[in-house]
Amino acid sequence: MKSLFSAFVAPVETELRTVYRTEENAGGQTVRRKIRFFRPDYKFVRNDTESELIVSALNVHIKDNHILKDVNLTIPEKKITCIIGPSGCGKTTLLKTLNRLTDSVEGVKITGKIFINGEDIINSGSEITRIRRKMGLISQRPCPLPMSIFDNVAYGCRIHGIRNRRKLRMIVKHYLDAAGLWDEVKDRLRTPAVRLSIGQQQRLCLARSLAVEPQFILADEATSALDPISSKIIEELFVKLKQNYSIVMVTHTLRQALRIADHVVFMYLGEIIETGSADYVFNNPQHELTKKYLSGAFS
Amino acid sequence: MKFKFLEEKIFKMLMIAATLTVFAFVISIVYTIAEKGWNAMSWSMISKLPGGGFYIGKEGGFLNAIVGSLYIVGASTVLGLMISIPVVFYLTVYLKKRSKTAYIARIAYDVLFGIPSIVYGAFGFTIMIYFGLRTSLLGGIIVVTLLIIPIFIRSMDEVARQFPRDILDAAYSLGATRFETIRVVLRQIAPGIATATLLSVGRAIGDAASVMFTAGYTDSIPSSLSQPAATLPLAVFFQLSSPIKEVQDRAYAAALVLTIIVLALSISGRFITNRFSKNKLQ
């Protein structure tokens, strides 16, 4: 009878997903808790599949300027990778090339390959929206969409075809919670997002990016516009989130990189000078330029 | 006293004087119209159609002109929005900042913006003769739409040019196509749309030259698009050129109604603009 019935009714798109969250228990110890999360659709890729990002021989020219010179890079999975270097060395361009936001820049020419899970996103002509959805971008200045808090988080889901209100409410709650914002805004979800403080706006942007289930989080100096307390909250969030996402972070403050980086990429004038695990690069830099930069000779 | 403080004082006075002069203009215009029109104003003026001897001072009203004006303005505002929003969206989102197409398009809209309304009227008239149409509501609507489209585009584009590219990048990075950003773009430029609508409605309802040859004039309310329609500015024009005093006063009554409609629209428009701009990212 049941099978007969289900032949006529489309299967409900549901999926149980497991996410991990670190929390402090009553004794002050940190415990890693497993949360079963009801993800009401499977339009989105599962997060626990491997996420692999390889940049190979990437060259970016904007007009006559050679911005990125022969960049080769592997982003480690589920770790925080910090890209450091002096200003104007192409950190932001590299980040924007990773989700092809450079497409809208005038006079840009990109050669080379970027593989995401084995798929070349520069040359293969794959769907640009699908690629971008996998890469959540947090910009330098928080940039909420001109709509309510709820709609900000729901926007991404709506454009990917989730219109059911109950599902949307569930998704919005979950991701606002993941960005540590739910308790602060749960009573005013309908107010415009611009009314939030700038630190809250940045967390809202994070929630909005997470809501479309990216595999990577690209953060472009995500804390540089924020006050120390807000940036500390964001940093802590990143540390929590690396259990489920691979995070690529451009940062200008060396101390931030020291605090949270697992993996460091040092760039200078469009080239990658040194890359390696944070411990290794910070304590034992191989290259002369890296030594100088870390000692504060230039910034 | 030092010269620079004196200078400061003198110029401040001049600025205040200029501000007050403009204010005085508004007051005197409204006062003149109200004073002259108030006597002729009555309920039957705005609720009745012109009777047989209306234009020689007998009974009737100018409901035909009020309804005709509202028909034309309402329809052309909707049409104008339907045409100009896609234009502005295309210019903002699809074309690059220094694109040649956008540059040429903007010059074209500036030229259209500067064309006097009588030229639009004459142009519409020629076209209608070519197609063998008579003066009609439809003709009026089309010509007034042509008249206000440049206003729409110009004033929306002013706001859209300030559009923060970060918002687009944010929407793109969520996986939106360029078209899907329309929800975001519209909300951000909503105050601009409201202002543009106000300006256009104000211009459209007060314009006599463009509707004179295209919409014509009639004593009845048009019941289809192919019938001619009366408009308030023309009602003012025709009655003011009459030698009879009562009819001239009625012209001022019509002008008063026109002014009140425009005033009501701008005041409500301010409220609506404030409502719309609450989501706007600064």
pLDDT, block means (10 residues), chain B with 282 residues: 88 97 94 86 80 72 88 93 93 85 92 91 89 87 92 90 87 89 89 87 88 84 86 88 84 89 85 77 69
Is residue B79 within 8 Å of residue B149, measured between CB atoms?
no
A172 touches chain B (CB under 8 A): no
Alpha-carbon distance B199 to B191, whole Å?
A: 12
What pLDDT, on the 0 to 100 scale, is given for residue A50? 67
Contacts of B110-117 with CB under 8 Å at 24 or more apart are B110/B150, B110/B154, B112/B146, B112/B149, B112/B150, B113/B150, B113/B151, B113/B154, B116/B209, B117/B147, B117/B207, B117/B209, B117/B210
pLDDT in tens, A130-146: 888 888 899 888 889 99
**Alpha-helical runs (H) found in B41-136:** 43-47, 63-89, 100-114, 117-130
What pLDDT, on the 0 to 100 scale, is given for residue A244? 79
What pLDDT, on the 0 to 100 scale, is given for residue A295? 84
CA dihedral B8, B10, B16, B21 (to 10 degrees): -150
pLDDT at A10 over 50: no
pLDDT in tens, A149-182: 999 999 988 888 888 888 888 888 888 888 888 8
A156 touches chain B (CB under 8 A): yes
How does the average pLDDT of chain A come out, rounded? 81
pLDDT in tens, A179-235: 888 889 989 999 999 889 998 999 999 999 988 888 889 998 888 888 888 888 889
Please list every residue in chain B whose beta carbon sits closer than 8 Å to the beta carbon of residue A212.
Answer: 174-175
Alpha-carbon distance A60 to A102, whole Å?
A: 9
Q: Which amino acid is at A240?
A: K
Which region, left, alpha or beta, applies to residue A100 given φ > 0 means left and ψ of -120 to 50 means alpha? left
Q: Which amino acid is at A201?
A: Q
Q: What residue spans define the domains of chain A? A: 2-295
Alpha-carbon distance A151 to A209, whole Å?
A: 13
- Angle, alpha carbons B167-A207-B92 (nearest 5°): 10
Closest chain A CA to residue B191: A146
Contacts of A237-242 with CB under 8 Å at 24 or more apart are A237/A179, A237/A180, A237/A203, A237/A206, A238/A80, A239/A80, A240/A21, A240/A22, A241/A178, A241/A210, A241/A217, A242/A78, A242/A79, A242/A80
Half-sphere exposure of A21 (CA within 13 A, CB side): 16
Closest chain B CA to residue A147: B279
- The matching CATH number, chosen from 3.40.50.300, 3.30.1330.90, 3.40.50.1460, 1.10.10.10, for A2-295 is 3.40.50.300
A209 touches chain B (CB under 8 A): yes
Q: Which of B173, B175, B279 sits opposite A194 (nearest CB)?
A: B279
What pLDDT, on the 0 to 100 scale, is given for residue B16? 97
Which backbone phi and psi does A156 adopt, to 5 degrees?
Answer: -60, -40
Q: How big is the A-B interface in CB pairs under 8 Å?
A: 85
Partner residues linked to A24 by β-bridges: A30
Is residue A180 within 8 Å of residue A230, measured between CB atoms?
no
Partner residues linked to A296 by β-bridges: none
Alpha-carbon distance B84 to B261, whole Å?
A: 24
Q: Which of B169, B180, B188 sits opposite A101 (nearest CB)?
A: B169
Alpha-carbon distance A82 to A278, whole Å?
A: 9
Q: What residue spans define the domains of chain B? A: 47-54+61-279
pLDDT at A30 over 50: yes
Alpha-carbon distance A299 to A253, whole Å?
A: 9
Q: Which of A143, A148, A209 sits opposite B167 (nearest CB)?
A: A143
Q: Report which secondary-structure segment, H or E, holds B270.
A: helix B245-276
Structure ipTM: 0.80
Is residue B80 within 8 Å of residue B156, measured between CB atoms?
no
Instruction: Quote the tokens at residue A202.
Output: 């940045």
Please list every residue in chain A whose beta carbon sits closer than 8 Å to the beta carbon of residue B172.
Answer: 101, 104, 132
B171 touches chain A (CB under 8 A): yes
Neighbours of B92 (CB within 10 A): 22
Is residue B240 within 8 Å of residue B147, measured between CB atoms?
no
The whole-angstrom distance between A238's CA and the closest CA on chain B is 18
What pLDDT, on the 0 to 100 scale, is given for residue B77? 93
Mutation target for B interface from A44, A139, A145: give the one with most B CBs within 10 A. Answer: A145
pTM for the model stands at 0.81
Q: Is B273 exposed, middle or buried (0-12, 13-18, 19+ CB in 10 A)?
A: middle
Sign of the four-CA dihedral B84, B190, A210, A13: negative
Is residue B188 within 8 Å of residue B163, measured between CB atoms?
yes
What pLDDT, on the 0 to 100 scale, is given for residue A35? 58
Any idea what DSSP says for residue B56? G
Q: Tell the residue number behind the tokens 């489209």, with chain if given.
A: B149
B279 touches chain A (CB under 8 A): yes
pLDDT at A21 over 80: no
* Chain centre distance of CA B36: 25
pLDDT at A15 over 80: no
- Please, which residues 176-195 of chain A have a Cβ atom closer than 8 Å to chain B? 192-194
User: Which whole-number Å values give the CA distances from B254 to B78, B135, B241, B250, in the listed order?
Assistant: 25, 22, 14, 6
Alpha-carbon distance A221 to A251, whole Å?
A: 5
What pLDDT, on the 0 to 100 scale, is given for residue B75? 94
- The matching CATH number, chosen from 3.40.50.150, 3.40.640.10, 1.10.1040.10, 1.10.3720.10, for B47-54+61-279 is 1.10.3720.10
